[in-house]
């Protein structure tokens, strides 16, 4: 995908954060944008703030419901006739220690962060293929899809899934001229650290969570992170150049290096045991 001007984009999680910044950047580049979000009032404010009625429309969408994504395809085609760029951006955060995370909360984050991306792809990709005009799928993962730490295993799990799915899609769709990019940021200004309040169980203890040292540290990192507008421009550059991974943090690069070292070391040690080195 080399041109964004005059293309049609669909964006989930469009009411705030990276999602809104992507919509703003797309409008500036002359694209038409269908904004979607579960937050109705926020969605209305986003459309009004963009101030581009000829280039924008909106549709309420809960990405954890496949039906909503299929309805969004129809709404996008009804509004603009075609669709070329699919931004599966909506996501939430959830932490906790093994054995202490409610299964309801596990299902909640997987339904949004993983199935929400899958639902978006399964709903929109047939239209991209049928149109025969190429296109691009952009899935929001995280640097948390490439390295892990303590205390956020549900979030890491979902983001590793999105990275793997995106890498598989890039191979699947290359033959039909559809590109894939996977967004892998570290700290970008957004409200992601407050989404746990919507979790079925953890959300009941949000006031306790917000007094924890972990929450306060993450909050500070996000509030002092990269401006969402800067990251959005980087993302659109990746779309234009068909770049698969979209990283933004030089300090996080070493984590990828160290993980690869561990993988290769374990690989070689197992081959030695088998006598296959």
Catalytic residues: 155
Q: What's the burial of 128, exposed, middle or buried (CB within 10 Å: 0-12/13-18/19+)?
A: buried
**Cα-Cα end-to-end distance for the chain:** 42
Are 12 and 88 within 8 A, CB to CB? yes
- Rg of the chain, C-alpha, whole Å: 19
Q: Tokens at residue 183, please?
A: 């967004």
Strand (E) or helix (H) holding 35:
strand 32-37
Q: Tokens at residue 179, please?
A: 């590109």
Measured between alpha carbons, how far is 39 from 189 in angstroms, rounded to an integer?
Answer: 19
Measured between alpha carbons, how far is 119 from 97 in angstroms, rounded to an integer?
Answer: 28
């Amino acid at each position: 995908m080399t041109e964004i001007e005059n293309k049609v984009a669909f964006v989930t999680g469009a009411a705030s954060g990276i999602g809104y910044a992507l919509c703003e950047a797309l409008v500036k580049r002359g694209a038409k944008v269908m904004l979607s979000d579960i937050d109705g009032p926020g969605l209305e404010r986003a459309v009004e703030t963009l101030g581009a009625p000829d280039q924008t429309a909106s549709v309420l969408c809960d990405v954890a419901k496949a039906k909503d994504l299929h309805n969004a395809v129809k709404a996008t085609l009804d509004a603009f006739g075609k669709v070329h760029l699919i931004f599966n951006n909506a996501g939430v955060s959830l932490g906790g220690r093994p054995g202490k995370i409610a299964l309801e909360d596990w299902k909640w984050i997987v339904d949004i962060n993983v199935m929400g991306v899958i639902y978006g792809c399964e709903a929109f990709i047939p239209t991209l293929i049928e149109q025969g005009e190429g296109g691009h799928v952009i899935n929001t993962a995280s640097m948390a899809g490439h390295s892990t730490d303590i205390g956020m295993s549900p979030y890491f799990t979902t983001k590793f899934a999105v990275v793997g799915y995106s890498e598989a899609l890039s191979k699947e769709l290359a033959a039909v001229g559809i590109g894939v990019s996977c967004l892998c940021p570290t700290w970008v200004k957004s409200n992601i650290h407050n989404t746990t309040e919507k979790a079925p169980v953890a959300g009941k203890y949000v006031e306790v969570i917000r007094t924890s040292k972990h929450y306060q540290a993450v909050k500070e990192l996000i509030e002092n992170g990269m401006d969402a507008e800067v990251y959005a421009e980087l993302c659109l550059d990746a779309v234009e150049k068909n770049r698969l991974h979209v990283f933004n943090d030089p300090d996080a690069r070493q984590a990828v290096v160290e993980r690869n070292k561990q993988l290769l070391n374990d690989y070689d040690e197992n081959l030695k045991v088998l006598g296959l080195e």
